[in-house]
Amino acid sequence: MLKNGMIVGERYEIVSKIGTGGMANVYKAKDHKLNRFVAVKVLKQEFREDTTFIKKFKTEAQSAAGLTHPNIVNVFDVGDDNGVHYIVMELVEGITLKEYISKQGRLSIKEATSIAIQVSMGLEAAHSHGIIHRDVKPQNIIISTDGKVKVTDFGIARAASSNTISSNVMGSVHYSSPEQVRGGYSDEKSDIYSLGITLYEMVTGHVPFEGETTVAIAIKHLQDEMIPPSQYTPDLPHSLEQIIFKCTQKSVDKRYGGMSEVIADLKHSLIDPNGDFVQLFTLDPTEKTMVIGDNDLSEIKKQRAEAPVTSVKRQETFLMDEEDDDDDDNKGGLNRGLEKAMMIGGFIVGALIVAVVIFLVLNFTGILKGFGGGSIGNEDDKQDVATEEMVEVPNLVGKTEEEAIEIAKEHGIGIQFNGEETSDQYEKGTISSQETPEGTEVERYSTIKYKLSSGSAMLNVPDVVGRTQAEAEQTLTAMGFTVNISKSYSDEYEAGQVMTMNPAANSQAKVGDTINLEVSMGSQYDGFTVPDVVGMSEIDAKNVLAPLDVVVTSETSDTTEAGQVMTQSIAEGVYVDKGTTITITVSTGPADATPTPAAATAGGTWKCTQQLDTPIGYQGGVVKMELVQMVNGSPQASTVIDGKQVEFPYQLDITGVSGLTEGTLYLSELIGNDYVELGHYPLTFEQVEE
């Protein structure tokens, strides 16, 4: 997993992890080249050595990169950074349709229809480029904060050619079409089926087919008729129910011909909800279900036991034959005559294999001798063979990967990349360590894992001379340095400016090293007239009071906004010597975050239980966490933690203002005598049962 602050592809700075899937993690990142936030999808570590999955991962990006549409998440870039395979996509702030349905229970008819139209338009654009999504479901549909609907994660999409494509990739079984379940032909009509199931869930609040196992659900897609959505939603318009029925026909030929037809009927349903314009095929009673025999069912269960749906590394399929003589309904099955021919051929091949194995066993001694081996029963010869199979591990440390590959070949072993690590001893890109030590005897053809040096852990110290003390402290602590402040008089530098620094600017220092700053108190021969800092922010007050020794305390307040100065120990206008100690008191907001009547109407307890990763620049000291929420247009602050040392990642358990779903957490660390902000984080609150 990538850490916050890491740079990928020399331009994308990882900000936070925002999601995970079967084969990849998704991160929010800052594109420093174009100065924008993006989503970076990174292939998980366990798949980086699987060339097949890497090829699929890149194919996904290349196919999706050709799509530009308001209802599709755009793909910007694809790359490989020292074994980290990534795709850069448009960052869409919002929630998935699945989350939205869970929050709402079920959607209004107009809202569901509007979402379905936008999804259909995105899929229509993909289909026009020969790309089938094959995994349409609410989890892959995002509703942005401005109400735009976008289809994402063409994770198993493939460019469709004019030829038949037989795909054995299995999407989420709740939304999979019958032909996907069978492992048969899959085209744009499979996406239409999955869209119909998604529309069913939007208007009813649940999927039509449920079961204890994926096999049970898959079989229901094949042979069960779904309960009409109007039974769950009595006010469901007739036309919309007919659209759902047509999208989810089990026979491919009886569904819509394409997304343009779906869009036309959805738009028509908005102006004529109870119209009878949807042209459904009349089903013959014998066509309603497909009978699955006991043998077929056993085969399905056996295959699912060997390859569970949650597995990503192995492609999955249901193989079953339809006991239906209609040619149209047997496109995904095998011709019976062909089946028999294949079965007979299989028996013949099997018999030949058995004969070859018997021959090899009977002649094994002779074969060994032919290759210079001795008698199987000779113990000395056994030891010689064993000795020949052992090799000594060479030293790979300090070598480039190309050099290591050649050395490994000479010794009859393989090598495998196992990540990066910082190193002050070895240059970036060279091997810094190997898992199996040099000189160890291992079996020939063993694989030795190694790590590459990512370079020195030294950082370049920025130049903060001439900047204010507060600015310099924030810059240095954010990089992980410890800052030590001393003050002296100066006729050259204004009060509060950094005069000198040690180590010097642009020198190298390690994370955690102390940077000593000398800060000016102004001219020695002048006194200082204390200004009024009440109402200022803490940082602004410190800058204004730079000639003095500022001590900060904090208190709760119902009248002063959190973060603002409430009082100062020396009154405005008093003339004092520079270096005099002054104490300012900063508000932390109200003691109790009591909701206003408008905010409290929702009632109940609203909590946030997100996990907080280690902030950049954290030095392991005590922290302060403050929550700010907007109540009736005004910020309301409350202290979550004050003066406590915590272990990251930290599990939050915060009770917010009743009825408010959002808030911001401000995190600061005590550096010296002052709290320095490390960052602020958006939080989401949900109502919990009491």
Q: What is the mean pLDDT of each run of 10 residues along the chain (690 residues)?
A: 87 89 83 90 78 72 77 88 88 90 91 94 90 89 88 59 31 82 77 97 94 80 91 94 96 93 93 90 48 49 41 28 35 39 47 48 37 35 47 91 88 82 77 90 83 74 88 78 86 87 86 86 77 87 84 88 90 85 89 45 76 79 85 75 87 87 84 76 81
- CA–CA distance, 57 with 40 (Å, rounded to integer): 13
Q: For tokens 């062909």, what's the residue?
A: 338
pLDDT at residue 216 in the model: 79
Q: Is 576 helix (H, G, I), strand (E, B) or coil?
A: strand
In order of their start, the domains of the chain are 1-91 (3.30.200.20), 94-333 (1.10.510.10), 389-456 (3.30.10.20), 459-587 (3.30.10.20), 597-688 (2.60.40)
Q: Which residues are catalytic?
A: 135
Count Cβ atoms below 10 Å from residue 115 Cβ, excluding itself. 23
pLDDT at residue 223 in the model: 85
DSSP-derived letter for residue 48 is T
pLDDT at residue 376 in the model: 30
pLDDT at residue 359 in the model: 46
Output the CA torsion sign for 542, 546, 548, 549. positive
pLDDT at residue 350 in the model: 52
Among 294, 320, 91, smallest CA distance to 222 is for 320
Burial of 336 (0-12, 13-18, 19+ CB in 10 A): exposed
pLDDT at residue 465 in the model: 93
Alpha carbon 58 to chain centroid distance? Answer: 17
Q: Is 44 helix (H, G, I), strand (E, B) or coil?
A: coil
Tokens matching residue 434: 């190997």
With a CB cutoff of 8 Å and minimum separation 6, the contacts of 395 are 434, 438
The helix (run of H) or strand (run of E) holding residue 448 is strand 447-453
Beta bridge partners of 509: 459
The amino acid present at 231, given as its one-letter code, is Q
Among 199, 197, 218, smallest CA distance to 208 is for 197
Q: For tokens 């048969």, what's the residue?
A: 184
